[in-house]
Amino acid sequence: RTAKMEAREEHIRESWIKAMEARLVRDELEKCHRSEGVNHYENCKWLVDKYLVMLKENKVCL
């Protein structure tokens, strides 16, 4: 393998890890919304903020 291919594979691997982390946060956000009911806007805000940052920063690039 060439160094360029290995670097590309490493980038793809890191990208997928970040995407899966965002997915886990999204799943936790869904649980929070269900469990908090009408108070979810207030009690889940920190998860929403974290998820939005992750969406902006962790795009999957192939």
pLDDT tens for residues 35-49?
Answer: 999 999 999 999 999
The pLDDT value given to residue 62: 44
Q: Is the pLDDT of residue 61 over 80?
A: no
Angle at CA 46, nearest 5°, toward 43 and 50?
150
To the nearest whole number, what is the mean pLDDT of the chain?
Answer: 89
The structural domains of the chain, with segments of one domain joined by +, span: 3-57
Q: Is the pLDDT of residue 58 over 80?
A: no
What are the strands, taking DSSP E only, across the chain?
none
Residue 29 neighbours by CB under 8 Å, 6+ apart: 44, 47, 48, 51
